[in-house]
Amino acid sequence: MAKALIDRMAPSLPHSLIARAGIVLAGSLLLALSAKVQVPFWPVPMTLQTLAVMSIGALFGARLAGATVLAYLIEGAFGLPVFASGAGLAYMTGPTGGYLLGFLAAAVFAGWAFERGFARGLIPTLAIFLVAEALIFSAGVLWLAGFTGMEKALAAGLVPFLPGEALKLGLAALLVSEIRRRFRD
């Protein structure tokens, strides 16, 4: 199995369950903090979560990234204030629920792609993150359409986010490409 970037960044990091749980907890904290940095839109706020999700996927690999986002979702389901606004199962089944599920798919996909070495350079990294973004917004807009209809879901849940997402996608690609460059095998 290919190495996750985090294993190259910290080769002496133990692979014990406790060490991995610490990584997952730190990643879920990063996601929670990224949810609090937001521009208030309706019905879905613009946050830094997509930047965090893509970075976690790229750095942690598929398994740890998936566990991290799953832990974040479980924390929110149990009422911890980790989401942009609100908490609990009722919040998760509201208009933002699809985006939350998309985070899981995007993190696992990005982790899988990075572990397999598909991100060799800035352009492939951008392509991987673009697919990850598509996973987030496909799930989010489809879910939101159940509340507002497809036309309104696209108008409120995708179009206003495109400029910000392009910026975050570029930032994530530059950040992760630089980390990869510094920690090559």
Given a contact cutoff of 8 angstroms between Cβ atoms, the answer to whether 33 and 55 are in contact is no
Residue-wise pLDDT for 123-172, tens only, equals 999 999 999 999 999 999 999 999 999 999 999 999 999 999 999 999 99
How far apart CA 45 and CA 26 sit, in angstroms, is 23
First to last CA, the chain: 14
C-alpha dist (Å) from residue 122 to 40, 52, 107, 141, 143: 31, 18, 18, 28, 31
Q: What pLDDT sits at residue 43?
A: 67
**Dist. CA 164–CA 142, nearest whole Å:** 20
The helix/strand/coil state of 64 is helix
pLDDT for 185 beyond 60: no
With tokens 């199995």, the residue in question is: 1
Banded pLDDT at 30 (limits 50, 70, 90): very high
- For the cut 60, the answer to whether the pLDDT of residue 1 exceeds it is no
User: What's this model's pTM, rounded to 2 decimal places?
Assistant: 0.90
160 vs 140: CA distance, rounded Å: 14
* Domain 5-182 annotated CATH 1.10.1760.20: yes
Residue extents of the structural domains in the chain: 5-182
Per-residue pLDDT, 178: 85
42-65 tens-digit pLDDT: 666 788 999 999 999 999 999 999
